Amino acid sequence: MNTTSVLDPEDIDDRTRSTRTKDLFEARSASEDPQERRQLAEEIVTINLPVADSLAQRYSARGLPIEDLMQEARLALVRVVESFRPEYGHDFLSYAVPSILGALRKQFRDSGWTVRPPRRIQEAQQAINQTRSDLLQELGREPRVSELAATLDLDEETVIEALSADGCYTPASLDRPVGGEGDADPGGRTLGSVLGSEDPDFASCEARVVLRPLLSRLEDRDRTVLKLRFVDGLTQREVGEEIGVTQMQVSRILSRIFNTLRDEVGEMPEIAQAS
């Protein structure tokens, strides 16, 4: 039975979405019927639309209409579904989320510059965006600066400068009336007066999506240590008693795990902090 015809994609939890997406990709890879492959691709897009919309919402207060951002995020999702190669064995969302975020950032770059970077940086950005997407799928994680530089034959300083220039888009004034210049809010509210605080759940959701496949590759004991420490809330000493090691050894195990995860996450500081 087609589960997405019964369940609203908004009501599907992360684990169910990941499992269902994997099953759909496997069915699509096995099918030789073009029409069936298109239908399966559409179902993959549908079940993952809430993820794309959630990522678009992250940029809703930065000067571009939310409708445009959601459209760009959804188009990026469609492109990612077509380009994803399940035979690599990576989790789909660990590839899709950074790709959609990259498309949203490009939307801001294309909308205009507050400070226009040198042409060499703009050209480097274009090359980095394409290479970043290719390496992301090949590696199953965000490529590091050193990997981007080596692939593109650029120095790391240029890559860092190009990545840092992502925020040079034209922002909306916080003094702009709610509703736009031609449709001022009757109460005189401005964008600045209605901005809320950053929702930590966004970073937490993104961290879970990226970290899930990484955690699955850890050794059983390492996953047990993480569960005892951060899910069950045990102290390091109590964790050590559970697995038969000293508190100092638990501390070293945790440090090793964190270093491994940081290396795997690569150039994604928001997720690294959220983890």
Q: Is 146 helix (H, G, I), strand (E, B) or coil?
A: helix
Query: What digits encode the pLDDT tens for the residues 74-116?
Result: 999 999 999 888 887 788 888 888 889 888 887 776 665 555 6
Whether 124 has a pLDDT exceeding 90, the answer reads no
Q: What are phi and psi of 39, to 5 degrees?
A: -65, -40
The predicted-structure confidence for 200-258, as pLDDT tens digits, reads as follows 566 666 666 667 777 878 888 998 998 899 888 899 999 999 999 999 999 999 999 88
Q: Which amino acid is at 44?
A: I
**CA separation for the pair 242, 229 (Å, rounded):** 11
Q: Tell me the pTM.
A: 0.45
Q: Which of 87, 85, 91, 9 is nearest to 42 (CA)?
A: 9
Predicted confidence at residue 143, as pLDDT, reads 85
The letter for the amino acid at 226 is: L
Higher pLDDT, 185 or 267: 185
Q: Please, what is the end-to-end C-alpha distance for the chain in angstroms?
A: 36
Most confident of 24-28, 173-177, 198-202: 24-28
| Model pLDDT for residues 189-200, shown as the tens digit of each residue | 665 666 655 555
- The residue with greater pLDDT, 44 or 214, is 44
Mean pLDDT confidence for 179-193: 56
- Taking the C-alpha atoms of residue 236 and residue 252, their distance in angstroms, rounded to an integer, is 10
Q: Over the range 204-229, which residues count as b (16 or more CB within 10 Å of their CB) and which as e?
A: ebbbbbbbebbbeeeeeebeebbebb
Q: How far apart are CA 23 and CA 31, in angstroms?
A: 12
The pLDDT of residue 259 is: 84
Task: Name residues whose C-beta falls within 8 Å of residue 144's C-beta, 6 or more positions apart in sequence.
Answer: 266, 267
pLDDT at 165: 67
pLDDT band, residue 176 (cuts 50/70/90): low
Domains, the chain, in order of start with CATH, read: 14-112 (1.20.120.1810), 114-171 (1.10.10), 203-265 (1.10.10.10)
